[in-house]
Structure 1
Amino acid sequence: MATRGGPQRKGGRPGLGKASAKTSAKPKSRAKAVPEPATVAALPAGPFRLGAVPGATPGKWIDTWKTRMPRTPLELVPLIVAEQRGAFERGDVDAAIVRLPIDRDGLHVIPLYEETTVVVCAADSHLTAADELTVEDLAGEVRIVPRDDVLGVELPGTEAPRFAAPATTGEAIETVAAGVGMVVVPMSLARLHHRKDVTFRPLAGAPASAVALAWPADGTTELVDAFVGIVRGRTANSSR
């Protein structure tokens, strides 16, 4: 019988010292859990039809739409203010940038911003002497009101022209450029029809013109909801 610490018997398993046991033991590797990708429901193929009245500037929202949803086309549908309500009734648009007031019956409406009212006059007009005009400054001036006027503002003391009202704001401003009269419009329309021979000045005390996003109350589709989210500043990862 072998003494303690003596040679092992033939065929016996060699013992492991403490040092050997430590070096031979290897920690078990643990596989890192990989999170499953979030499932995003595909939006309808589109197109999404967005109406816009003259002077509206939805460009930044359209750019965001194209970045987030490059496979869903957005069609911009020009509208005139007099027919903006009819565009919903005819189904011409899914949503629209409209000018207030508008009949809100059956519509969701989100006010977006207000525009300063300005006086458009010839570049060499005496009205340009002031940085800002008042209603009193316009007394005796010929005011041209186009048939597509969007303000409906009364200006006591101004005079009506002796010719028929132009059909559009653009035509009215062309007349002003010839040195005849002045036109009162929201600032965006003054910029839209800008020319070198006309300029504009803010009209103090005049009511502002409000712009809003509207869509049918029974037509809140996934595409409409996506665009509303963009307008409201929701990020691509925000929950609706």
Structure 2
Amino acid sequence: MDESMGAITILGVDQSLRDAAQQGNIDALYAFIRSDAKVLDRIDEIPFVETPLHTAASAGQIQFAMEIMTLKPSFAKKLNEDGFSPVHVALQNNRTEVALRLVYVDEDLVRVKGKEGLTPLHCIAQIGNLDDVLVEFLKACPKSIEDVTNRGETVLHIALKSNMFDVVRVLLGWLRRAWFRNASRWETKLLNWKDDEGNTVLHIAVSKNQTKVVLLAVYN
């Protein structure tokens, strides 16, 4: 691969294509495609790269992101050099509408594992203050609540360790009201799940003097 290959360089995506994604310039995107019909294919061949979808997601360029998603759906699950998908990146940059639009197209994006096995659902548990997005993700992909990180942490572990106690309340409240099969079984399983250090969510809550966060959520 050399620098003469359209919008691909030895470093990945050419800056001019990044600029188009940053600015949400769909006409510029198609200008690149007209000059090099395989430009998106070659980006896709790079194992870990910031795709135009990552760039658009981080910039909140919804229409550009949807255009790329249509042209190259595989970009939505590709990880950048930092180990994050476009949905991860959108959440990290508070571009929640982009994250939701991507998930509405493909609900499995909620379960894409990035750095350290973190999914977008885990990412929300770290960030907090995204209750509406959290519920929408769970509605789109209920089974995402089963996913654990490379350290064996559930989304409840992540929320408690990140001091996002409201997230715990939302998660457990949602499980109690959830319609999907085995929801009650999963509530029990999640509360008793041990991470790689042998800690359940109750252990972590006690260590943070937040026992009521779990107990009230379960028994109220």
TM-score, scaled relative to structure 2:
0.20
More strand by share: 1
Considering Cα pairs closer than 8 Å and 6+ residues apart, tell me whether 1 or 2 has the greater RCO. 1
Higher-Rg structure is: 1
More helix by share: 2
